Structure 1
């Protein structure tokens, strides 16, 4: 196991009817900006609950944060924070709203003229951030309990990452009933996102990190068990509660502590989203099976462990068991209603080269746990995903 330094200060408030508790978590004299996405937070009554909980505080609101939050939209929120002397932010939504809030929190006090520099430096130049909390409505990204965010610059179709301990949420309210009104598509994307987050930190090479391995395998097994029910059956509190907590655990730092990590599926998937606007979760379902197949020699030991411990595949030679595990993974995504081929989204071989060009432009030329996935290998992965 590698050396590691684990830190996570986010307070989790979990369960039914917990939105009201934000009153005790935000300073009484705070000037609050509530950030959210589209109309669903208003339509479902979540914003009304938030307003009631905030009571007599000075409250402003900023809506319209996109599913892939854009630098352009978030810059408007930054200007509002500065103009109104906002000193606390509250993200009401899923990963995109939370990611966007992290950028706003860090950009509001940024001393440089161009806040895009925060993304160019991957957040390393953040020295101060506005404190913020979260009311989670869509379980998927784990952003409610980590210090990372992905932001898109529409003008250049660039997706960029920031990560800094100063943008951990102070608290996150996780009420599983907030998922009851979500459409099946978003739920399926959330299950896939949590699954692939786990795989990115697990399916690499062994370093005898037994706790992390067993923890990751338990998360994967949970998602396999509850995923079809969450997506295809009437709302059930227990399955939604397990999804919400699993998605949070998948990317709060625990299973990634002391182990090698991959993230090639995400970086390649980001370009598919940026160029073709395919849902983030769906890009992961497209790319992951091909990475598992083409990188089987690099990942052989963990692929066999994955086949055995997660899918209970014990018969056949090594390659046969790996093939079965990859097929089981693809079938799981498909069972959720998530298509796993580029051709399912109308893409052909001619669409691959622009993606490779973007990977090169954004410096994504050494991906994977061994930093050996070159643009040529990324091209092979995308061709295998057709």
Structure 2
């Protein structure tokens, strides 16, 4: 192991912690509150924000989509520039937070905001961000990554910079109480695959990262099994587990995959498949395809996460157990958005992968376009 690790995001965890934003954001700041479809106005979160910001100057921007688009975020960027906003408060799930990160970096750029994604613009500073998390899933509330969709070209791409890591994040499990079941299930699956992307690679002997990843996976299995009995403790544990799944710790000093995400993003960009469900479609097929590289770690997962007995087919049974986990949550593992013969869909995804330069994916760069075709054909 050899690494440098820091995560400076301050976490305010627990019931009633939204009040912390009053002291977490300087009163001298002009704040833009960014949120999605308006559910925060029916679950009490918005009222708590208003109360906490009573001594601040602030305005709001709503309408950030479940997969935030450049086209919508550009409107917020114009608002930041025209109103002299110097602090952003994201109130929502990973999509709102990712969109806010894009706004934070691109607002200080005079050119096209998409330059941030293509790398033509390399930010040296960004508008500071705070977060109130309402949907646990992505871990975006305390990491430095974001994914944004360009609707006009059906591209879903990401960027990373420590400049957009939130300064603080409020994690109040009460904000989850009115979430639809589908969103909660998506959060479980998303967090699960985040851990897997950093864990199912090669056996490293890194006891902390591998052991902690296995704890998080066992947490998610148990939370899935108790989905119908969810209570305050259930919500607390999902919110904290999802955060820990992608705050940088378990991936530190570890080989990482992320091919499931790269391929899954194309399903979302092309057919608006829920992000988490795009991952559930791709992952089992990808693991079977990469068995030559991943067998040892998949077997380790079978023993330490699913408590399966050793056997010659342990890896295969472990992947079956992953699929059974998705099935238990009623997650569709097929691309139901496309009917009939899906060969055209496979071609469309491959064209996007090639266009975006994703011609060698995975921790071993072994997933070429031909391998991606095999994965997609078997998955879809």
Q: Which of the five TM-score ranges fits, normalised by the shorter chain? A: over 0.9
Instruction: Identify the residue that residue 71 of structure 1 maps to in structure 2.
Output: 70
Q: Report how many residues are paired.
A: 379
Structure 2 residue ranges without an equivalent (≥5): none
SS of structure 1 residue aligned to 2:217: helix
Deviations 1:258-297 (A, max 9, x none): 0100000000000000001110000001111111111111
Instruction: Identify the residue that residue 168 of structure 2 maps to in structure 1.
Output: 171
- The structure 1 residue matched to 2:248, chosen from 238, 245, 253, is 253
SS of structure 2 residue aligned to 1:337: coil
2:266/2:349 contact within 8 Å kept: yes
Structure 1 residue ranges without an equivalent (≥5): none
Instruction: Identify the residue that residue 116 of structure 1 maps to in structure 2.
Output: 114
1:195/1:220 contact within 8 Å kept: yes
Measure, in 2, the Cα distance between the counterparts of 1:10 and 1:23: 17
Query: Do structure 1's residue 361 and structure 2's residue 360 form an aligned pair?
Result: no
TM-score (norm 2): 0.97
Measure, in 2, the Cα distance between the counterparts of 1:325 and 1:346: 29
Query: Do structure 1's residue 158 and structure 2's residue 151 form an aligned pair?
Result: no
Q: CA separation of 1:122/1:151 partners in 2, compared to 1, >3 Å: closer, same or farther?
A: farther
Q: CA separation of 1:207/1:92 partners in 2, compared to 1, >3 Å: closer, same or farther?
A: same
2:17/2:170 contact within 8 Å kept: yes
Matches for 1:111-150 after TM superposition, within 5 Å:
112-121=110-119, 125-150=122-147
Matches for 1:213-232 after TM superposition, within 5 Å:
213-230=210-227, 232=228
Matches for 1:298-317 after TM superposition, within 5 Å:
298-317=293-312
Query: Do structure 1's residue 327 and structure 2's residue 327 form an aligned pair?
Result: no
2:30/2:87 contact within 8 Å kept: yes
Measure, in 1, the Cα distance between the counterparts of 2:250 and 2:164: 20
Measure, in 2, the Cα distance between the counterparts of 1:68 and 1:149: 11
1:122/1:160 contact within 8 Å kept: no
Instruction: Identify the residue that residue 47 of structure 2 maps to in structure 1.
Output: 48
1:122/1:162 contact within 8 Å kept: no
Instruction: Identify the residue that residue 95 of structure 2 maps to in structure 1.
Output: 96
1:100/1:149 contact within 8 Å kept: yes
Q: CA deviation at 1:312?
A: 1.0
What is the root-mean-square deviation of aligned Cα atoms in Å?
1.3
Measure, in 2, the Cα distance between the counterparts of 1:345 and 1:57: 48
Q: CA deviation at 1:370?
A: 0.5
Measure, in 2, the Cα distance between the counterparts of 1:346 and 1:240: 36
SS of structure 2 residue aligned to 1:155: helix
Which 4+ stretches in 1 moved above 3 angstroms? 343-347
- The structure 2 residue matched to 1:337, chosen from 327, 330, 335, is 330
- The structure 2 residue matched to 1:291, chosen from 268, 282, 286, is 286
1:92/1:135 contact within 8 Å kept: yes
SS of structure 1 residue aligned to 2:292: coil
Measure, in 2, the Cα distance between the counterparts of 1:383 and 1:109: 43
Q: CA deviation at 1:345?
A: 5.8
Measure, in 2, the Cα distance between the counterparts of 1:56 and 1:11: 21
Q: CA deviation at 1:228?
A: 3.3
Deviations 1:113-144 (A, max 9, x none): 22211111197x11110111000000000000
Measure, in 2, the Cα distance between the counterparts of 1:278 and 1:272: 6
Instruction: Identify the residue that residue 276 of structure 2 maps to in structure 1.
Output: 281
Q: CA separation of 1:239/1:207 partners in 2, compared to 1, >3 Å: closer, same or farther?
A: same
Measure, in 1, the Cα distance between the counterparts of 2:67 and 2:132: 18
SS of structure 2 residue aligned to 1:298: helix
Q: CA separation of 1:31/1:172 partners in 2, compared to 1, >3 Å: closer, same or farther?
A: same
Q: CA deviation at 1:18?
A: 0.8
Q: CA deviation at 1:315?
A: 3.5
2:88/2:128 contact within 8 Å kept: yes
